[in-house]
Structure 1
Amino acid sequence: MCATHGIDLAGLAKLYVITHREWNAVKVGIGACTGYNSRLLQHERQGWELYRARDYTTGAAAYDVEQAVLDRLRGAKLCPFLTKDVMPNGWSETCSTDRVTADEVWAMVEEETRRTPGTYDPRSGARPRAAVLIDAEAAAEKMRARGYEPLVLYPGRTNATWPSRCTTCGHKGRPTFNAVLNGGQGCRICRTRAAQAKRAAANAPKAEGVMRAAGFEPLEPYRTSQTPWHCRCTTCSRESTPTYSNVSNGGTRCRFCSAKSSNAERAAAEMQAAGFQPLVPYPGRTTDPWNCRCSCGNEVTTRLSFVRSGTTGCKKCPRAGGRTDPANAAAEARRAGFEPLETYPGKTTDRWRCRCACGTEVTVALTNIRRGRTRCGTCSKDHTDGSARTATSP
């Protein structure tokens, strides 16, 4: 009586007799017979035609009459007539019209209705919903038993999303209680990992063969083609992390053998040969910043890749190709009327502290000197004032 699925035994119901001309069959059945998904409407879509129908105050009364009629038909070995393959729903309640007619079946319905009084009282109000019948704590325990830890209280409906955390991988998702209860909705992260593990197990033999043929000995199980794979080079015996995708596409040398990387001793030797003294251990990759001291005494941050591309000093080191020698820069400054008070900073655009011919300390750039600057701001002002007095004197 409290069930939230199937026929409502405490609500209104209908008993019907239908016939099928093509199959030469007759059937008796019961149902609410309301809505688009009613059983009677489903039968009519399959070619059944309604012969007679009768309404009952409760589904229990209709069920008693139907079972009494079926007992008589089965006792006479008149049903079932059709098979489950022909009619999946209700095949066991069918008879051949050659042996029993629809009139005879309906007469049995009338007779059993008179014999079976309606002993069940109809329900007052609507049929109870599934949300009312499910205990929240019991639902939470079922979720935990299936690998989910609820993050909020039961939402109240079996088909509503329920924020939960997978107890296996820790992923937060929003499964429905109905799907989890029926075993049809597991954690998508766990499903993905299981699928990846299955593919990896199938592709591992081929991948290991390709890596060994390219000169790499795998040190860990294969995962995916794009995942770095810890291997040892059979040529230089160094460990690296190539990907199966790169190796299968033609990469046959490790990064050490191809000079794209280096060990700590070799990297330090290369930096010292270029004029840099490392101040910290080798960071591990040629493109990683590395704190060093230049031969000029300046602390800089450079990269091994820069040294390999030709860098042999820091920005303040005098070098050919656009750099100015400190002695030549000082001579240029003196010719323009500036006496340097500190060492040349190294770049023509750097600020350089000097003393002007008038005795004022200024900061100039070699670029401005080369553009024609020969006096400081004080000299320029005095020159402007003197010119103005000369122009206005009588």
Structure 2
Amino acid sequence: MTSHIGVTYVLVHAEFESVKVGVTTYGSRRLRDLWRRQGWTSYKQLRLASKPLAETVEQGVLFQLRHRLALPAHLTHDLMPEGWTETVSACLIEADAVWNLVCLEAGALQLSPTVGAFKPVSHRPPKQYLRTKGDTPKYHPIARLLASEERRVTRSPAKRIRPNVD
């Protein structure tokens, strides 16, 4: 029976001086067999409610590594045919720092108001998730800003005033 619990993991390889972030399901043989045979050791693992959540965390960490920190993939396809794009040099970033990125991405994902609410088919949330009266404190600055924007958008078009051409 396949587990639905997702696992985002961080592995280290002493010989290659590499750190790898990846995803699997809980109870899978992937970590036990495949990576240990190739010399990888498990640094830490984070269990999430589903594999898609674990994949989202992994992709967020890879985005941070590649684009925010500008760290390239460390291994090549020849050295590691499967998962080489998920590696980074341990000389450039430690496994603990990669693990911190995993925790930050998972925390941001779990605190996101859209987790479990709907499938992200589009970037626009369904109407039932839009702001409604009473969902924020009345005098909160964000509530005031949102209310003023809503009034501005829903206001009927004003009369056009002709410029005074003299």
Distance 1:72 1:40, change over 3 A: farther
1:91 corresponds to: 84
1:358 corresponds to: none
Shift of 1:32: 1.2
1:28 corresponds to: 21
The residue matched to 1:116 in structure 2 has which SS? helix
TM-score (norm 1): 0.27
Distance 1:46 1:116, change over 3 A: same
One-letter amino acid matched to 2:53: A
1:15 corresponds to: 8
Match of 2:62 among 56, 70, 78: 70
One-letter amino acid matched to 1:92: T
1:227 corresponds to: none
Distance of 1:24 and 1:33 partners within structure 2: 26
TM-score (norm 2): 0.62
2:97 corresponds to: 104
Distance of 1:83 and 1:112 partners within structure 2: 26
One-letter amino acid matched to 1:26: V
CA contact (8 A) 1:31 1:40 kept: no
Q: Superposed, which structure 2 residues align to 1:78-157 within 5 Å?
A: 78-117=71-110, 119-120=115-116
Q: Superposed, which structure 2 residues align to 1:233-382 within 5 Å?
A: none
The residue matched to 1:19 in structure 2 has which SS? strand
Shift of 1:31: 0.4
Taking only aligned residues, the RMSD between alpha carbons, in angstroms, comes to 2.1
Distance 1:35 1:69, change over 3 A: closer
Match of 1:56 among 35, 48, 51: 48
Q: May I ask how many residue pairs the two structures share in their alignment?
A: 112
Distance 1:91 1:111, change over 3 A: same
Identity %: 34
Distance of 1:42 and 1:84 partners within structure 2: 16
1:45 corresponds to: 37
Shift of 1:44: 1.3
One-letter amino acid matched to 1:51: Y
Distance of 2:28 and 2:16 partners within structure 1: 26
Structure with greater Cα Rg: 1
